[in-house]
Structure 1
Amino acid sequence: MTSHSPRPVADLFAADGRLKAIPRKPARREALLAHLAAALFEADRTYSEPQVNDALRSVHDDFPALRRYLVTGGFLSRTRDGADYRRQQQPGSPGGAIPAVA
């Protein structure tokens, strides 16, 4: 299996809709984060940290890690005090991960 075509994120979820594990590979994690941001958070809406935690807790127990990945990956923005979160509009990159800016 040497092909690098992106796999769907559906195989990361158990039958009950919960995430089996947070992927270690950056490209898989980026695909998952893009999916979670689109599925759990509406654009143009502000969320409190407890609302973000509750949404992420619905898919995985390690919601602090998911929240951190979403923020550091640019999928969610948050205010300096961490009180408010908003979904970011990502530039489309069909077929793969969003390039890292480092």
Structure 2
Amino acid sequence: MTALITDDGIVTRWPAKVADRALVLDFLAAKFEPDRDYAEREVNDILKRHHSFGDRALLRCELFESGRFLRNPLTAIYRRVEDQ
């Protein structure tokens, strides 16, 4: 893909450019089924398998803040938003 994502599908770093961030977030969001609930632990496990820089919290937050995920603040359940 790019230098940000290895041929094995591992995100190597959090990019500085907004366009590159969108690419990484789209790549990671695609690892989750739409309209399925995920506990925070499940989200962490999936993100851990697909990045190497060790910041699952950043990625979880960015997926939510970018509108790619919904999060229930009472239960910490995440859900990928359907592609638009």
TM-score (norm 2): 0.85
2:50 pairs with one of 39, 54, 59: 59
Structure 2: gaps (5+ residues): none
Tell me how far apart the structure 1 counterparts of residues 10 and 34 of structure 2 sit (CA, whole Å).
23
* 2:13 is the counterpart of 1:29: no
How many residues are aligned here? 81
Which structure's CA Rg is the greater one? 1
TM-score (norm 1): 0.71
Tell me how far apart the structure 2 counterparts of residues 24 and 65 of structure 1 sit (CA, whole Å).
13
* 2:36 is the counterpart of 1:45: yes
Q: Where do 1:1-102 residues align within 5 Å?
A: 10-11=1-2, 12-38=4-30, 40-60=31-51, 61-91=54-84
Structure 1: gaps (5+ residues): 1-9, 92-102
Percent identity over the alignment is: 40
Q: Could you tell me whether the CA contact under 8 Å between 1:49 and 1:82 is conserved in 2?
A: no
Report what 1:4 is aligned to. Answer: none
The residue identity in structure 2 corresponding to 1:48 is A
**Cα deviations by residue, 1:27-82 (Å, 9 ceiling, x for unpaired):** 110121112101x1001210000000000011222111111100000011100225
**Runs of 4+ off more than 2 Å:** 14-17
